[in-house]
């Protein structure tokens, strides 16, 4: 009986790694397949070479690959490599091929284990011993599907945390929003590692800007590496917004050549600081799997400590899914990503039309295409124009003559703290700052 395998899938999988030549592709594939999953021994050696190159942080080009293949005593020539490269050109077949390769490997393992069990039974071995051995082998075949970890490590970490609190030496590890009256309403003064905070508001109420405020206060001011997935704004527009917020100068004044020397100085200083800040952006994903792969890459390469996703409903999902189901699936994947990377994620979300029009404010039911969004989130912040939801009617001027929009917010969900607490933001829409 021929062993379960797919020569074609193994070749396509390697072709994706070689054709694209980037660690993101390998990162996606390595979550599914190991070198031992390859049936073809020569393909197994080639995959090992690719793995070794990426583990060193190098680019998998022909020169690096041929050198690694020489070390591993591979029989493949450059012509063989080029032939494999041409087997595919996108990551899409890589994902499906990886699953096929991993599945066939598990089938081979299970088939071998079953045959051994049958042989042991024929030899009259103890049934309990056979059952235990078979159970062990089944576990080995499926252990990659489980990422369960012993609870002892987080328990010990909490013990140390409690002791530091008692000693007065504890330093908050959460991500501060930089807005005191908001931080004090959140557990430990901010957004914890592995937590997802949803920020939702009607159009023009500054949900993107609030996220940028939080990121800038942590990255520019405290040099924390952060990632931003911005699907509405291109890179230049996003950068303009950040410069405007950092400098507290409306860039329209620069464009219209009416800025004072002091304002010009602030803009250029803010630009220089932003250029040096560890902020990494992405503006396109093919779907949630692509998003997760790119986020993992940011974590691996740049050690990001927080992530902004703007916004949930713009992330593509399987078109075969109903809209609510698709958005809910994406939301769940993002929560799992926060746990996996152990970083806080700011996830922006739209509200539905009914909620945007309601004078009395927003509720959890107003999250657009909500599905299970609220179940995945640790914190949900809803905000709206304070004067009956009307932005124009909510515009005010403070004692210094500075115009702002008075926004009301509600923490509709707070997994580790008090919920349904409310407050007001002073949104300086002229510069994009929140107070």
Range with the lowest mean pLDDT among 290-299, 366-375, 394-403? 366-375
Predicted confidence (pLDDT) per residue in 243-253, tens digit: 999 888 888 88
Q: Is the pTM of this model over 0.85?
A: no
- pLDDT score for 91: 47
How far apart (Å, rounded) are the C-alpha atoms in residues 367 and 347?
12
91-122 vs 23-30: helix axis angle to the nearest 10? 30
How far apart (Å, rounded) are the C-alpha atoms in residues 390 and 350?
17
- Using DSSP, state whether 425 is helix, strand or coil: strand
How far apart (Å, rounded) are the C-alpha atoms in residues 88 and 286?
17
- Using DSSP, state whether 19 is helix, strand or coil: helix
How far apart (Å, rounded) are the C-alpha atoms in residues 311 and 41?
44
The answer to whether residue 414 scores a pLDDT higher than 70 is yes
- pLDDT score for 307: 95
Cβ atoms of 354 and 361 closer than 8 Å: no
Cβ atoms of 66 and 78 closer than 8 Å: yes
How far apart (Å, rounded) are the C-alpha atoms in residues 216 and 224?
9
CATH 1.10.860.10 residue window(s) in the chain: 7-141
How far apart (Å, rounded) are the C-alpha atoms in residues 326 and 33?
26
Query: Token digits for 405?
Result: 């929009």
The answer to whether residue 33 scores a pLDDT higher than 90 is no
In 3D space, the residue among 331, 296, 332, 295 whose CA is nearest the CA of residue 313 turns out to be 331
410 CB contacts (<8 Å, ≥6 apart)?
A: 361, 362, 381, 382, 383, 420, 421, 422
Q: Which residue has the tokens 């397949």?
A: 33
CATH match for 7-141 among 3.90.1170.50, 1.10.860.10, 1.10.10.10, 1.25.40.80: 1.10.860.10
How far apart (Å, rounded) are the C-alpha atoms in residues 79 and 407?
64
Cβ atoms of 392 and 174 closer than 8 Å: no
Dihedrals phi, psi of 3, to nearest 5 degrees: -70, 140
- pLDDT score for 90: 52
189: left (phi over 0), alpha (psi -120 to 50) or beta: left
The answer to whether residue 169 scores a pLDDT higher than 80 is no
In 3D space, the residue among 316, 324, 325, 326 whose CA is nearest the CA of residue 292 turns out to be 316
R_g of the chain computed on alpha carbons:
26
- pLDDT score for 209: 92
In 3D space, the residue among 148, 24, 40, 21 whose CA is nearest the CA of residue 95 turns out to be 24
Average pLDDT over residues 12-38: 76
Predicted confidence (pLDDT) per residue in 256-289, tens digit: 888 899 999 999 999 999 889 999 999 888 888 8
- pLDDT score for 210: 92
Cβ atoms of 16 and 91 closer than 8 Å: yes
- pLDDT score for 170: 60
Predicted confidence (pLDDT) per residue in 97-150, tens digit: 788 888 888 888 888 888 888 888 888 888 767 876 776 677 667 655 545 555
Predicted confidence (pLDDT) per residue in 184-242, tens digit: 888 778 898 999 999 998 887 888 999 999 999 898 888 899 999 999 888 888 999 99
Q: Of 310 and 94, which is predicted with more confidence?
A: 310
Q: What percent of the chain has pLDDT over 70?
A: 87
Return the C-alpha torsion angle 163, 165, 169, 170, nearest 10: 110
The answer to whether residue 306 scores a pLDDT higher than 60 is yes
Mean of per-residue pLDDT scores for the chain:
82
Range with the lowest mean pLDDT among 28-37, 89-98, 293-302, 385-394? 89-98
- Using DSSP, state whether 271 is helix, strand or coil: helix
The answer to whether residue 368 scores a pLDDT higher than 70 is no
Report the CATH superfamily, name and number, of domain 180-434. P-loop containing nucleotide triphosphate hydrolases (3.40.50.300)
CATH 3.40.50.300 residue window(s) in the chain: 180-434
How far apart (Å, rounded) are the C-alpha atoms in residues 35 and 44?
5
The answer to whether residue 95 scores a pLDDT higher than 90 is no
- pLDDT score for 11: 82
Number of Cβ within 10 Å of residue 339's Cβ equals: 14
Query: End-to-end distance of the chain based on CA atoms, in angstroms?
Result: 71
How far apart (Å, rounded) are the C-alpha atoms in residues 234 and 241?
11
Residues written for the chain: 435
């Amino acid at each position: 009986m021929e062993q379960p395998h797919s020569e074609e899938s193994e070749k396509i999988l390697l072709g994706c790694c070689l054709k694209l030549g980037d660690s993101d592709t390998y990162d996606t594939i390595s979550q599914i397949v190991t070198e031992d999953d390859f049936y073809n021994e020569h393909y197994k050696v080639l995959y090992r070479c690719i793995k070794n190159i990426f583990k060193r942080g190098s680019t998998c080009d022909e020169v690096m690959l041929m050198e690694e293949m020489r070390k591993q005593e591979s029989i493949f020539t450059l012509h063989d490599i080029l032939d494999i490269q041409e087997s595919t050109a996108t990551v899409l077949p890589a994902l499906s091929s990886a699953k096929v390769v991993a599945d066939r490997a598990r089938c081979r393992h299970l088939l071998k284990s079953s045959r051994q069990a049958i042989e042991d039974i024929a030899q009259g071995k103890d049934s309990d011993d056979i059952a235990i051995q078979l159970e062990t082998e089944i576990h080995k075949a499926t252990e990659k599907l489980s990422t369960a970890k012993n609870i002892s490590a987080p328990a010990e970490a909490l013990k140390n945390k409690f002791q530091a609190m008692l000693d007065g030496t504890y330093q908050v590890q959460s991500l501060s929003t930089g807005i005191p009256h908001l931080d004090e309403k959140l557990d430990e003064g901010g957004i914890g590692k592995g937590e997802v905070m949803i920020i939702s508001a009607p159009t023009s109420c500054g949900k993107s800007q609030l996220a940028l405020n939080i990121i800038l206060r942590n990255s520019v001011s405290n040099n924390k590496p952060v990632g931003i997935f911005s699907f509405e704004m291109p890179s230049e527009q996003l950068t303009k917004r950040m410069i405007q917020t950092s400098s507290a100068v409306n860039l329209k004044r620069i464009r219209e050549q009416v800025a004072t020397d002091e304002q010009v100085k602030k803009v250029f200083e803010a630009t220089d600081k932003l250029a040096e800040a560890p902020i990494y952006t992405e503006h396109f994903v093919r779907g949630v799997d692509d998003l997760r792969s790119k986020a993992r890459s940011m974590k691996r390469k740049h050690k990001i400590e927080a992530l902004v996703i703007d916004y949930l409903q713009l992330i593509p999902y399987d078109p075969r899914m109903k809209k609510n189901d698709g958005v809910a699936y994406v939301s769940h994947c993002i929560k799992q990503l926060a746990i996996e990377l152990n970083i806080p994620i700011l996830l922006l979300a739209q509200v539905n039309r009914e909620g945007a029009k309601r004078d009395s404010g927003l509720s959890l039911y107003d999250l657009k295409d909500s599905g299970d969004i609220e179940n995945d989130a640790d914190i949900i912040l809803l905000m709206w124009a304070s004067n009956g939801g009307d932005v124009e009617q909510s515009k005010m001027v403070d004692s210094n003559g500075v115009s702002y929009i008075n926004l009301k917010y509600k923490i509709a969900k707070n997994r580790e703290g008090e919920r349904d607490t409310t407050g007001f933001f002073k949104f300086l829409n002229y510069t994009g700052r929140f107070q």
